[in-house]
Amino acid sequence: MSQQQWWRDAVIYQIYPRSWADHDGDGMGDLPGITARLPHLAGLGVDAVWLSPFYTSPQHDAGYDVADYRDVDPRFGTLADFDAMTAKAHELGLRVIVDIVPNHSSSDHPWFQEALAAEPGSPERARYMFRDGGGPNGDEAPNNWVSNFGGPAWERVTDPDGSPGQWYLHLFDVSQPDFDWTNAEVGDEMESVLRFWLDRGADGFRIDVAHGLVKVAGLPDAPAGHEIADAVRTADFPMWDQPGVHDIYWRWRKVTDSYAVEGQDADRILCAEAWVRPSESLALYVREGELHQSFNFSFLMSPWIATEMQQVIQESLEAVEAYAAPQTWVLSNHDVVRHASRLGYDPVPGLLRMEGIGADDPQPDAEVGLRRARAATTVMLALPGSAYLYQGEELGLPDATQLPDDVRQDPTWEKSGHTSRGRDGCRVPVPWEGDAPSYGFGPTESSWLPQPEVYGELAVDRQAGVEGSTLELYRALLRLRREHRVGRGELTWRDLGEHALAFEVTSESGPGILVIANVGGEFVALPEGSEILVASGPIDTEQGLPIDTAVWLTTS
């Protein structure tokens, strides 16, 4: 049995440091809090943790606005805390993936401050995308690009003498200026940052906005009247998925490969966050010599419809076939509505609720959502490849859909002119103990976003050891996945009717596993003589698999 290249079937758990565990009681999670809670993950049975950014940052975009790539923000701790956390994780057999943010820095970064103080055309300005404005007085933005958070992607600066100056590009918040990757200094700096964390023991990187680093030369207008969300080809937009990004990642792969240790399964890995379509373009990121993984968001975006899910899974597997790279699967993260809430609505193809859910929006059906979420995860963890879990999904946490608007912190809410609620709903601190202040998130009542009451009922201590709980379901799935190594298996579809998503996956430890999900239909009869290994919900042995339930069965 091949144990090499651990990442090929790894289950990687995303920690959002602000919201996982608060050690010092200030209401914001921190690295010592994470260290103390790591045994939860060892017990869950994951292989690695990926931490969203904990760098020095003014936190205008929850840490994805980095002011110092080589330090820890005091809110989260110190470099020594990072070292202690990494040591503890390694001791528990968990790898540590750091989030690298190479598309933009914070406007507090010393480079950007130097750029503001320097002249147009200076080497200091050349590290970012400064341009003269259009129109007779230079007071029109250099092109029509819009920020991902709403509003124009350009901001005009004021020169040291007080007069209006050049404009700079920010594909995200105004406090996140885009680097100019045609400038060799930027690439050298990022390589040095990678080495800094690799030398401290990081096992790899999740690459933020990996498809955005290279822009079409001359910065032409984006296609007008054409929404990126509807684009068939992301690369039709001059700021996304341009061929030059791949050169960057070939270089990075050489860096991570240089840390390989002969005879040890110790690959340092690179995973792209690239919202790229079509699947074939996304697959290019995992070509031989390039990245190890790329998030496959098409599965997350699929509606709860068996035929659509089957098509997405099939296309995803085919897309990477040519490159002998594993596919990745993910259902929730810190940028989207949690799947226990997302799936609590009638399935509408193409409707993702990326804009978040507010108290005055139609609310998801919590029971239906949780049942489908458990079934979706039961399917996901049987798929060949690597899977990513988002903190709290193992508790079946829903999004906080009733947050008062005045506590929202995601810049999306303000920047969209209050049209998009943003991502705070999925970022609320995790409950550990049902009866403790802040549900055990920290030692005090304090929590940077208020926790819904239902989080108390879903706390870790309310579910641990309780048969049928979501936590015990995840533990069972992860144990069986490891035992049978289905992540290294091959998938074959089975036709069990319109509402059944059914496939067999080969196992490295004997007969294969048959996975069946009843996606919104009447009972699905289970094959005779099969033994149930794990099920996402109660099963009626007479009638079969109930609606919105999934099961793993032995095939012999």
Residue numbers of the site for ligand GLC (CB under 6 A)?
61, 64, 101, 172, 208-209, 273, 334-335
Report in angstroms how near the CB of residue 136 gets to ligand GLC at its nearest: 34
Angle between helix 79-91 and helix 31-44 axes, rounded to 10 deg: 10
Report in angstroms how near the CB of residue 157 gets to ligand GLC at its nearest: 21
Give the span between the Cα atoms of 100 and 206, in whole angstroms.
Answer: 6
Q: Toward ligand GLC, which CB reaches closer, 47 or 208?
A: 208
Spatial neighbors of 66 by CB under 8 A, at least 6 apart, are 53, 55, 56, 57, 101, 105, 106, 109
Q: Toward ligand GLC, which CB reaches closer, 13 or 552?
A: 13
Report in angstroms how near the CB of residue 101 gets to ligand GLC at its nearest: 6
Report in angstroms how near the CB of residue 88 gets to ligand GLC at its nearest: 25
Report in angstroms how near the CB of residue 65 gets to ligand GLC at its nearest: 7
Tokens of 386: 């690597």
Tally of CB atoms within 10 A around 265: 11
Give the span between the Cα atoms of 92 and 204, in whole angstroms.
Answer: 17
Give the span between the Cα atoms of 275 and 298, in whole angstroms.
Answer: 9
Q: Toward ligand GLC, which CB reaches closer, 209 or 471?
A: 209
Report in angstroms how near the CB of residue 461 gets to ligand GLC at its nearest: 30
Alpha-carbon torsion angle 382, 384, 385, 389, nearest 10: -20
Q: Toward ligand GLC, which CB reaches closer, 10 or 101?
A: 101
Helix, strand, coil % in the chain, rounded to nearest 5: 30, 15, 50
Residue 114: helix, strand or coil by DSSP?
helix
Q: Toward ligand GLC, which CB reaches closer, 30 or 424?
A: 424
Residue closest to ligand GLC when measured from CB atoms: 64
Give the span between the Cα atoms of 517 and 536, in whole angstroms.
Answer: 9
Q: Toward ligand GLC, which CB reaches closer, 18 or 371?
A: 18
Give the span between the Cα atoms of 501 and 498, in whole angstroms.
Answer: 8
Tokens of 103: 């598309």
Spatial neighbors of 68 by CB under 8 A, at least 6 apart, are 55, 56, 109
Specify whether the CB–CB gap between 33 and 92 falls below 8 A: no
Q: H helices of 352-404, where? A: 366-380
Q: Toward ligand GLC, which CB reaches closer, 101 or 459?
A: 101
Quick one: which H or E segment has residue 475? helix 470-484
Specify whether the CB–CB gap between 373 and 365 falls below 8 A: no
Report in angstroms how near the CB of residue 280 gets to ligand GLC at its nearest: 22
Report in angstroms how near the CB of residue 171 gets to ligand GLC at its nearest: 8
Give the span between the Cα atoms of 48 and 449, in whole angstroms.
Answer: 26
Q: Toward ligand GLC, which CB reaches closer, 172 or 503?
A: 172
Specify whether the CB–CB gap between 403 and 409 falls below 8 A: no
Q: Toward ligand GLC, which CB reaches closer, 23 or 334?
A: 334
Report in angstroms how near the CB of residue 102 gets to ligand GLC at its nearest: 10
Between CA 412 and CA 420, with CA 417 as vertex, the angle to 5 degrees is 45
Give the span between the Cα atoms of 152 and 174, in whole angstroms.
Answer: 9
Q: Estimate to the nearest angstrom the gap between the alpha carbon of 69 and the chain centroid.
A: 20
Q: Toward ligand GLC, which CB reaches closer, 241 or 548?
A: 241
Closest to 89 in 3D by CA, of 31, 45, 46, 35:
35
Specify whether the CB–CB gap between 359 and 402 falls below 8 A: yes
Give the span between the Cα atoms of 15 and 412, in whole angstroms.
Answer: 21
Tally of CB atoms within 10 A around 199: 9
Report in angstroms how near the CB of residue 296 gets to ligand GLC at its nearest: 15
Q: Estimate to the nearest angstrom the gap between the alpha carbon of 123 and the chain centroid.
A: 34
Report in angstroms how near the CB of residue 214 gets to ligand GLC at its nearest: 16
Tokens of 73: 């923000």
Q: Toward ligand GLC, which CB reaches closer, 9 or 61?
A: 61
Spatial neighbors of 108 by CB under 8 A, at least 6 apart, are 57, 58, 65, 67, 175
Report in angstroms how near the CB of residue 534 gets to ligand GLC at its nearest: 31
Report in angstroms how near the CB of residue 193 gets to ligand GLC at its nearest: 15
